[in-house]
Amino acid sequence: MPNPPKLRETVTRVLGQYRVAANITGVFLIVITVLYAIRLIHSTDLWLAGPHGVLWFETFSMDADGFRVGLPDTGFNLTSMILIVHGWLYVFYLYTDFRLWSLLRWSLGRFLLIAAGGVVPFLSFFAERHFRKVAEAQLKESGE
């Protein structure tokens, strides 16, 4: 039976996954923040392959029940698709957060702070840089 990987190797691998997850989730969060602001200000959604072109902002109105009406029947609502993709990327981001948290035996508060990086614009970039340094220092200190 092969020897299990050492803590340093495992944490290094998870830190790489966390870096990818943090950067991709952060970029998607910035994009959805911009698209959501446009949605609120102009009542438009970004549309792919709709009746007005390849990429176009389609205007909508809200009915009495709070549903958007007036959007095209053809094409794809990129605003909604980007929101959905970000949600799934955030799940991967939380997974990498959980792996770091459990491997390094960090506090719950640290886990929650890292988790907030996927929902607070720009925080994932700063959290990734900071907690990568914290993890590396902890490994160095423990002699792993």
Question: Which of 35, 34, 29, 36 lies closest to 127, judged by CA?
Answer: 29
CA 102-106-111 angle, to 5 degrees, is 80
pTM: predicted TM-score of the whole model, two decimal places: 0.87
Question: Is 89 a domain residue?
Answer: yes
Phi, psi angles (nearest 5°) of residue 140: -65, -40
In this prediction, residues 89-100 reach a mean pLDDT of 97
Asked whether residue 74 is domain-assigned, the answer is no
Residue 62 belongs to some domain of the structure:
no
User: Has residue 54 been placed in a domain?
Assistant: no
The residue range of the domain holding 125 is 7-44+84-142
Q: What is the pLDDT of residue 6?
A: 87
| Domain total in the chain | 1
Does 13 reside within a domain? yes
**Would residue 17 count as lying in a domain?**
yes
Does 69 reside within a domain? no
Whether residue 96 has pLDDT greater than 70? yes
Does the residue 28 lie in any domain?
yes
Average pLDDT, the chain: 93
